[in-house]
């Protein structure tokens, strides 16, 4: 076998890149497979310069020409990663992005950011495209379900943040061919007012050009709750169960010279790890992709995806009333002292002989309960989940249609049209049986059911053309295009109170109330890009985008976003070519502007219509701002990517500096105007840091390949100017307890609360509104190890962060309820009036519970190993069977951290839909469970 | 070929026609834009209703916060201000921006209604105009009673406390032009009396107070609420649920804040009792003690005739009035009666002489204003007892002792 021919073939056809788990081969031909194994990574250029990418370039451009780094992942790399949701998939796979899931509840929102937070107003989640179609990436609670008081449809609001279901969690994941990611900055300039947070592009399989192939796979295993952070020993047994997880997948593809198709389908079911299957989830995903060569010049591609998902939520701590984890862990289900006046605590209650409500249990400490009480509590915990229900039903459809036209050599034109439709129905009911079992009837008289419905429709249309010109010394790629997208989000909420148990609709409720909300905007623009290459090693990249968004104020017109960049392939120079230990060295630098549009309609001066004394009433609503425009992130980047020693070592380092100008802030208006604040482009936010990626094949022989890779990202985030806005909260609770706030001169979303200090003279100093620490880490990254021995593959991956902090409301509430908290010294409490024997601990702690907030803020540094797994591939074990792969994986095996609560599971707590979130509050949040999964896949 | 060209042209024509279906929709707007609102049906009626709704919230907030400043109320365990109780006030406090935003809102809403909406809505009546005028007048009176200085309108000229009272008078003149019922006319007269009192003009105050009594002897105008829709009486909630503590000697007056599932108890903004009190105060200042006692007796009988303890409840009896014989004793009695009459209505702290500063944002935005506008005005006699403005101090006695700096009439 001619190795050089094969290596060229692999180079031209491959999509391998930075983080390649090994043992990944096409598996169709043993000989080819062996040959490939010999070539190993000699053939696979870790920074494959010939690989083409699309994101941020308008059309396909080879990586060598890029003045920035695009991270790519191919289907082989995605194979072993947990495939429940895209953000979880990317947690350890993208070296420069941080992804923290806010809780273990199904569909929970996540915190995603790369290069810090560029906005103190809008969420940092990157834009997501699937086959060129922009999809719903809402990663916060929705407008009608976002009630920061955790309203539980008893009084002011509808359900709280448990309804924060992320739209990212149900993007269909079958049939993914490739994922590209670019961080916001020059690389996303061509997206205009949309992508300052970066872009993730998913490309799905469209079929092969060979014969029919199919794979059937199954994953089965158990899920066990992560109870590492629980304070009491008995908590796990009371509220958790071991759940069964099962997933079945089918993929098929086929094709010929003329065209091909590819189908991927899966269904999965999880019992969940909360008793009474309170976190049960069922998913059905389907994707079909096709490509067809109409003739020499025209190619048609299509992709169709659907996801159907049903899930249940266990009661979250911030919903109020009884909720398993909160009540047990915070000692809330009964308290030692019978003093009343604590209206916000709801112990489990029953009626006594005189018809008076009395607490059932007499202690805050579940570990101290006697066995009969324990059995009763266990039944109550079960009923507490079983008799109330909170379910989500999601139906999602996506399609992308594209036509490519190549009339003559060097010219490609492409048009894409597609949509993403997502329907979400959330039903939340509190039954009479639940109210009686928990004794919450004492507080809440009536049963209820709330329906929340959200319809999202996103449309995308784009057309682009590019022309390649090449001669001996000059190559040029000129691209131009037009892009349009619109988003239509419509929500309605209906509440029925006093409803019979067992009813599935609110039609029988005694009283009904409703609300509605909608948002619509569209965005369109032109772009042009010129990429010039000299002597195949000096590249100059110039681009510009003109953009308009319907959310801009009346005085704001088209916005312009320029970019310029250079790329220099040092390794192509004659002096470098002779260095055989240096395979590739590419230097690059760029400057560009990317934008983030304001919320729809925020520029208008509006009137609020409500009801007052049975008649319509109108008052001032939004002050508006005719000058409202997008935030603009000016970023500069310089760095290099390189590979050494036969591509065994790859190293990339770059420095970035990004300044968000015209940052959106709610600036307070002078009170004489009569309205609170107005959204203005008034501030400046700075982010700077270094991104480093390293990959090394420690051992690389015919039979062995040990590949270790990691990344390190630093970030310094600072609000340079808040444009006159005073300190404001973006998350948390009240100013007397704890909030994450934004102030000029500090990092976005630092924790603010009271600090108690024990002075040398024995007195206690209490200072309010102190900076208790940042919630954004200043250093984070990923780690992965892959070991391959012949057909056996062992892998592990994880991610880490350092420098951030988290506040544990659970610990603070345990303190309030009189439990001894390890890190609060008794000397301090005695200085506050506690007796030496601790006899009045409960009273002192209750009276001072908001004064010692600093003792409940912990460093949230962690290293989480997300996956450890092993698999073995049998090649051609039987006739007609190409490959059988057996594997065993453990997901979320362990964490290394000093933090007493889960440093990652933090309520994201946003002010409005789509608002900025930095996490930082641990409030009875469930951790992601451990999964022990065995898998079998058979390929034909 | 020609016929094919024609065919191609026709085809292109058709396709261009389809562009309409392909172009993006006009943006669907779920909001009501201010510029469109005035032209909608019944805009003025809806606007006036909205102004009244906001007015209720404004009065409730003033009653709540200024009540804490005074000796009337103490914040026990509510989420309301913790600093106002001890007169720890800074111009950057959220309470200051909240109160001044309410005043700004009332003035701006009244102006928007009277200028823009009234002009566009033909169904506007005099009664609607009158409603907006008196809301605006009361906003100026609140400003004058409680603040050192505030702007006349959105980012407008800053007026001192007395200039604000004068501004209220000019608004009341406009109100008088559209006043029809005797209640309306009495209201105008009473509010004028209040303004003249703030300006120290005893003669005018007396005339207006007497006119008010003659026009409507049981005048009562209240700010109203609608808890289910989010417009609730916060003072009622805090007092009835004992989240605020009431000064012990005012325990009987707490009946004005009854316990209820919905906090809809109206708050009086103008009641005829005030006229009697003003007349009594003028007489005491003029040392006409028997006339003063006569007016106080009228006050007691008015309250008896009204027979609504949630509007006014007095503990002072006819015997107490008869027993007061010196000017100082009567001053004290007038101030005690004012305290009892206006309990939970937000008038006490103004009587005590406290004047709040402008908010920081306003002060900085306006620029070039005297430093005194940014500072709280606390009379000397209160300065040393800031943390003891409660049962520990006999406030009315202290006020009487400080009368030459405090009472409006010489």
> For chain A, which residues lie within 8 Å of any Cβ of chain B, measuring from their own Cβ?
341, 484, 486, 488, 517-522, 524, 550, 600-601, 604-613, 615-622, 624, 668-676, 724, 726, 734
Alpha helices for B178-288 (secondary structure H): 182-199, 202-215, 234-240, 273-285
* Contact criterion met (CB < 8 Å) for B46 and A617: yes
Would you state the pLDDT for residue B2? Answer: 61
pLDDT at residue A345, rounded to an integer: 43
The residues with which A563 forms a beta bridge, in sequence order, are A543, A592
Residues 6 or more apart in contact with residue A934 via CB below 8 angstroms? A219, A220, A221, A886, A887, A888
Flag whether pLDDT at B3 surpasses 80: no
Which of A670, A723, A735, A743 should one mutate to test binding to chain B, selecting the residue with the greatest count of B CBs within 10 A?
A670
Residues of chain A found within 8 Å of residue B42, distances taken between Cβ atoms: 616
Minimum Cα–Cα distance from B47: chain A residue: A618
Q: Is residue A642 part of a domain?
A: yes
- Chain B interface mutation, best of A674, A725, A737, highest count of B Cβ atoms under 10 Å: A674
Contact B105 A620 (CB under 8 A): yes
Check pLDDT > 70 for residue A1.
no
Closest Cα in chain B, distance from residue A694 (Å): 46
Q: What is the pLDDT of residue B23?
A: 64
A929 near A903, Cβ under 8 Å? no
- Please give the tally of structural domains in chain A: 1
Best of B36, B90, B105, B233 to mutate (most A CBs within 10 Å, chain A): B105
Judged against a pLDDT cut of 80, whether residue A363 lies above it is answered with no
Are B154 and A486 in contact (CB < 8 Å)?
no
Q: What is the pLDDT of residues A591-643, one digit of tens each?
A: 999 999 999 999 999 999 999 999 999 999 999 999 999 999 999 999 999 99
Q: Which of A221-235, A298-312, B13-27 has the lowest mean pLDDT?
A: B13-27
Average pLDDT value for chain B: 91
Q: Kindly give, in sequence order, each residue whose CB lies less than 8 Å from that of residue B4, ignoring residues fewer than 6 positions away.
A: none
The SS3 call for residue A391 is strand
B153 CB neighbours in chain A (<8 A) are 672
Report whether A123 contacts A909 (CB < 8 A). no
Q: Determine the Cα–Cα distance for residues B269 and B344; give it in Å rounded to an integer.
A: 11
* A159-163, B78-82, B215-219: least confident range: A159-163
The encoded tokens of residue B150 equal 């505030």
Query: Residue A545 pLDDT more than 50?
Result: yes
Averaged pLDDT for residues B368-389: 88
Query: pLDDT tens, B240-285?
Result: 988 899 999 999 999 999 998 889 999 999 999 999 999 999 999 9
Is A446 buried (19+), middle (13-18) or exposed (0-12) by CB count in 10 A? middle
**Contact between chains at B31 and A518 (C-beta distance less than 8 A):** no
The reply to whether residue A607 touches residue B226, judged by beta carbons under 8 angstroms, is no
Contact between A658 and A117 (Cβ < 8 Å): no
pLDDT of residue A585 exceeding 80: yes
CA of residue B176 relative to chain centroid, distance: 19
- Do A601 and B29 touch, CB atoms closer than 8 A? yes
- Tell me the mean pLDDT in the region A755-776: 92
Q: Cα separation of A589 and A592, whole Å? A: 10
Cβ contact B24–A524 (<8 Å): yes
Three-state secondary structure call for residue B238? helix
Domain of A65, CATH number, reads: 2.40.170.20
Measured from the Cβ of residue B341, the count of other Cβ atoms closer than 10 Å reads 23
Q: Is the pLDDT of residue B320 over 50?
A: yes
For residues A806 and A750, what is the distance between their CA atoms, to the nearest angstrom? 10
B169: Cα within 13 Å, side-chain hemisphere: 18
**Which of A27-41, A473-487, A715-729, A806-820 has the largest mean confidence?**
A473-487
Q: Convert A767-789 to b/e letters by CB count within 10 Å (16 or more is b).
A: eeebebbbbbbbbbbbbbbbbbe
Q: How large is the average pLDDT for residues A761-788?
A: 93
Q: For residue A905, is it within any domain?
A: no
Nearest alpha carbon to residue A394 among A462, A319, A316, A311:
A311
Grade residue A31 by pLDDT with cuts at 50, 70 and 90: very low
Chain A residues close to B52, C-beta within 8 Å: 612, 617
Q: Which single residue is written with the structure tokens 């060129």? A: A132
User: Could you tell me what percent of chain A has a pLDDT over 70?
Assistant: 91
Which residues in A lie closer than 8 A to residue B231 (C-beta atoms)? 612
Whether the predicted pLDDT of A873 surpasses 80: yes
The residues pairing with A521 across neighbouring beta strands, listed in sequence order, are: A487
Q: CA-CA distance, A523 to B231, in Å (whole number)?
A: 39
Least confident interval from A11-20, A308-317, A727-736, A896-905: A11-20
Fold held by B42-248+265-271+344-385: 1.25.40
Q: Residue A261 contacts by C-beta under 8 Å, 6 or more apart in sequence?
A: A206, A207, A253, A254, A255, A288, A289, A290, A291
How many residues comprise chain A? 940
Q: Left, alpha or beta for A150 (phi > 0: left; psi -120 to 50: alpha)?
A: left
Residue B264 has a CB neighbour count (10 Å cut-off) of: 17
- State the residue range of the domain holding A507: 3-336+362-715+776-803+862-897
pLDDT tens figures, A42-91: 334 446 777 777 777 777 788 888 888 888 888 888 877 777 788 888 88
Chain B CA closest to residue A549? B27
Burial of A334 (0-12, 13-18, 19+ CB in 10 A): buried
Q: Rounded mean pLDDT of A418-423?
A: 96
Pairing mode of beta strands A750-758, A738-742: antiparallel
- Per the CB < 8 A criterion, the answer to whether A742 and A730 are in contact is yes
Of the candidates B32, B151, B224, the beta carbon closest to that of A607 is on B32
In a domain, A831, yes or no: no
Candidate from A53-62, A283-292, A309-318, B147-156 with smallest mean pLDDT: A53-62
Chain B environment of A601 (Cβ under 8 Å): 29-31
- Residue predicted with more confidence, A505 or A35: A505
B4 to chain A, minimum CA–CA distance in Å? 22
Q: What is the pTM assigned to this prediction?
A: 0.85
> What number is the average pLDDT over the span B39-44?
92
Quickly state the pLDDT bin for B392 (edges 50, 70, 90): confident
CB–CB of B34 and A606 under 8 A?
yes
CB atoms A522 and B24 under 8 Å: yes
Q: What are phi and psi of B306, to 5 degrees?
A: -65, -35
Residue B404 Cα, gap to closest chain A Cα (Å): 33
> In angstroms, rounded to a whole number, what is the distance separating the alpha carbons of residues A881 and B249?
94
Three-class HEC string of B103-118: HHHHHHHHHHHHHHHH
User: Does the pLDDT of residue A25 top 50, yes or no?
Assistant: no
pLDDT the model gives residue A468: 93
Average pLDDT, chain A: 86
B72-131 tens-digit pLDDT:
999 887 878 878 888 888 888 889 999 999 999 999 999 999 999 999 999 999 999 999
pLDDT at A932 over 60: yes
pLDDT of A806 above 80: yes
Confidence of residue A919 (pLDDT cuts 50, 70, 90): confident
pLDDT of res. A39: 33
For chain A, the straight-line distance linking the first and the last C-alpha, in angstroms and rounded, comes to 25
Residue A645 has pLDDT above 70, yes or no: yes
């Amino acid at each position: 076998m001619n190795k050089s021919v094969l290596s060229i073939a692999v180079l031209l056809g491959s999509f391998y890149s930075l983080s390649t788990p090994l043992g990944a081969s096409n598996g169709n031909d043993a000989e080819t497979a062996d040959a490939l194994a010999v070539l190993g990574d000699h053939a696979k250029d870790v920074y494959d310069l010939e690989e083409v990418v699309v994101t941020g370039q308008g059309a396909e451009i080879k990586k060598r020409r890029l003045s920035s780094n695009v991270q790519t992942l191919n289907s082989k790399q995605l194979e072993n990663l947990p495939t429940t949701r895209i953000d979880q998939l990317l947690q350890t796979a993208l070296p420069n992005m941080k992804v923290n899931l806010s809780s273990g509840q199904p569909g929970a929102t996540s915190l995603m950011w790369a290069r810090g937070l560029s906005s103190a107003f809008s969420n940092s989640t990157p834009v997501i495209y699937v086959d060129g179609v922009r999809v719903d990436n809402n990663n916060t609670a929705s407008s009608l379900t976002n009630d920061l008081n955790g309203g539980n449809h008893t009084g002011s609001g509808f359900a709280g943040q448990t309804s924060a279901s992320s739209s990212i969690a149900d993007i269909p994941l079958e049939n993914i061919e490739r994922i590209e990611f670019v961080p916001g900055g020059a690389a996303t300039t061509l997206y205009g007012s949309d992508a300052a947070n970066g872009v993730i592009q998913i490309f799905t399989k469209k079929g092969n050009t060979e014969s029919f192939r199919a794979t059937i796979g199954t994953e089965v295993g158990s899920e066990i709750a992560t109870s590492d952070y629980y304070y009491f020993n008995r908590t796990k047994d009371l509220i958790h169960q071991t759940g069964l997880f099962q997933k079945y997948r089918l993929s098929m593809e086929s094709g010929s010279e003329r065209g091909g198709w590819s189908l991927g389908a899966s269904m999965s079911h999880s019992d969940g790890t909360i008793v009474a299957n309170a976190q049960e989830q069922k998913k059905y995903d389907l994707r079909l992709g096709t490509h067809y060569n109409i003739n020499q010049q025209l190619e048609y591609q299509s992709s169709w995806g659907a996801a159907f998902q049903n899930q249940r939520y266990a009661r979250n701590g911030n919903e109020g009333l009884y909720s398993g984890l909160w009540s047990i862990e915070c000692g809330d289900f009964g308290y030692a002292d019978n003093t009343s006046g604590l209206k916000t605590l709801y112990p489990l209650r029953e009626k006594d002989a005189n018809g008076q409500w009395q607490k059932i249990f007499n202690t805050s400490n579940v570990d101290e309960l006697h066995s009969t009480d324990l059995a009763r509590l266990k039944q109550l915990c079960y009923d507490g989940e079983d008799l109330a229900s909170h379910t989500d039903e999601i139906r999602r459809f996506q399609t992308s249609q594209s036509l490519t036209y190549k009339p003559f050599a060097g010219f490609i034109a492409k048009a894409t049209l597609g949509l993403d439709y997502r329907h979400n129905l959330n039903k939340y009911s509190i039954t009479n049986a639940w109210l009686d079992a928990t004794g919450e009837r004492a507080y809440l008289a009536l049963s209820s059911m709330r329906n929340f419905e959200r319809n999202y429709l996103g449309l995308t249309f784009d057309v682009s053309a590019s022309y390649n010109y090449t001669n001996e010394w000059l190559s040029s790629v000129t691209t131009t295009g037009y892009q349009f997208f619109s988003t239509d989000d419509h929500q309605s909420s209906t509440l029925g109170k006093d409803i019979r148990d067992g009813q599935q609709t609110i039609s029988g409720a005694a009283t009904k109330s409703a609300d509605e909300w909608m948002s619509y905007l569209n965005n369109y623009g032109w772009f042009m890009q010129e990429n010039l290459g000299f002597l195949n090693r000096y590249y100059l990249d110039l681009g510009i985008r003109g953009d308009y968004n319907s959310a801009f104020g009346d005085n704001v017109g088209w916005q312009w976003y320029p970019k310029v960049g250079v790329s220099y392939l040092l390794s192509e120079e004659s002096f470098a070519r002779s260095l055989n230990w240096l395979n590739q060295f590419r230097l690059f630098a760029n400057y560009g502007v990317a934008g983030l549009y304001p919320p729809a309609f925020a520029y208008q001066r509006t009137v609020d219509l409500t009801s007052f004394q049975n008649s319509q009433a109108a008052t001032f609503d939004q002050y508006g701002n005719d000058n409202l425009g997008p935030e603009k992130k000016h970023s500069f980047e310089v760095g290099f990517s390189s590979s050494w020693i036969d591509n065994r070592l790859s190293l990339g380092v770059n420095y970035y500096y990004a300044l968000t100008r015209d940052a959106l802030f709610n600036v307070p208006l002078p009170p004489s105007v009569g309205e609170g604040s107005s959204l203005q482009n008034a501030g400046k936010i700075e982010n700077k840091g270094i991104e480093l990626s390293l990959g090394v094949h420690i051992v690389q022989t015919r039979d062995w390949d040990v590949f270790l890779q990691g990344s390190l990202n630093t970030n310094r985030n600072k609000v340079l100017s808040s444009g006159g806005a005073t300190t404001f909260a973006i998350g948390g609770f009240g100013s007397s307890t704890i909030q994450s706030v934004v102030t000029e001169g500090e990092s976005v979303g630092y924790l603010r609360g009271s600090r108690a200090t024990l002075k040398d003279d024995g007195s206690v100093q209490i200072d309010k509104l102190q900076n208790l620490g940042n919630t954004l880490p200043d250093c984070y990254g990923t780690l992965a190890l892959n070991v391959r021995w012949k057909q056996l593959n062992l892998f592990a991956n994880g991610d880490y962060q350092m420098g951030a902090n988290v506040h544990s409301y659970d610990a603070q509430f345990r303190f309030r309820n009189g439990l001894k908290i390890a890190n609060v010294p008794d000397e301090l409490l005695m200085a506050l009036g506690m007796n030496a024997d601790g006899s009045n601990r409960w009273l002192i702690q209750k009276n001072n519970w908001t004064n010692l907030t600093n003792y409940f803020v912990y460093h949230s540094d962690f290293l989480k190993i997300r996956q450890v797994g092993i698999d073995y591939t049998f090649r051609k074990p039987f006739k007609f069977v190409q490959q059988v792969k057996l594997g065993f994986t453990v997901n979320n095996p362990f964490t290394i951290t000093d933090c007493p609560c889960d440093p990652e599971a933090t309520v994201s707590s946003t002010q409005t839909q789509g608002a900025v979130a930095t996490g930082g509050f641990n409030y009875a949040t469930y951790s992601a469970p451990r999964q022990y999964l065995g898998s079998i896949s058979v390929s034909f | 070929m020609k016929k094919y060209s024609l065919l191609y042209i026709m085809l292109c024509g058709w396709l261009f026609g389809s562009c309409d279906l392909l172009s993006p929709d006009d943006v669907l707007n779920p909001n009501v834009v201010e510029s469109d609102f005035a032209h909608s049906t019944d805009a003025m009626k809806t606007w006036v209703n909205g102004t009244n709704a906001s007015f209720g919230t404004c009065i409730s907030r003033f009653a709540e916060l200024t009540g804490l400043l005074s000796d009337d109320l103490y914040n026990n365990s509510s989420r309301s201000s913790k600093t106002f109780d001890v007169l720890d006030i800074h111009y950057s406090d959220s309470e200051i921006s909240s109160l001044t935003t309410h005043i700004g809102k009332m003035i701006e809403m009244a102006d928007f209604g009277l200028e823009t909406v009234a002009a566009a809505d033909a169904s506007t009546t005099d009664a609607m105009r009158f409603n907006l005028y008196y809301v605006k007048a009361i906003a100026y009176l609140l400003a004058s009673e409680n603040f050192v200085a505030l702007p006349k309108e959105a980012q407008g000229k800053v007026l001192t406390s007395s200039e604000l009272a004068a501004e209220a008078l000019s608004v009341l003149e406009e109100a008088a032009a559209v006043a029809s019922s005797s209640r309306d006319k009495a209201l105008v007269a009473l509010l004028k009396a209040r303004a003249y009192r703030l300006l120290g003009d005893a003669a005018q105050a007396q005339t207006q107070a007497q006119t008010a009594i003659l026009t409507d002897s049981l005048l009562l105008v209240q700010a109203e609420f609608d808890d289910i829709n989010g417009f609730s009486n916060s003072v009622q909630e805090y007092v009835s649920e004992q989240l605020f503590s009431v000064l012990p000697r005012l325990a009987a007056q707490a009946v004005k804040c009854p316990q209820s599932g919905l906090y809809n108890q109206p708050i009086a903004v103008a009641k005829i009792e005030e006229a009697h009190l003003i007349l009594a105060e003028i007489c005491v200042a003029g040392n006409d003690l028997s006339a003063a006692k006569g007016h106080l007796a009228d006050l007691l009988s008015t309250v008896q005739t009204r027979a609504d303890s949630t509007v006014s409840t007095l503990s002072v009896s006819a015997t107490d009035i008869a027993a007061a014989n010196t000017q100082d004793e009567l001053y004290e009695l007038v101030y005690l009666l004012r305290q009892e009459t206006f309990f939970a209505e937000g008038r006490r702290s103004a009587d005590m002489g406290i004047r709040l500063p402008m908010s920081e944002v306003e002060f900085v935005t306006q620029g070039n204003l005297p430093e005194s506008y940014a500072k709280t005005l606390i009379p000397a006699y209160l300065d040393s007892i800031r943390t003891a403005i409660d049962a520990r101090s006999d406030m009315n006695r202290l006020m009487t002792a400080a009368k030459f700096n405090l009472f409006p009439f010489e």
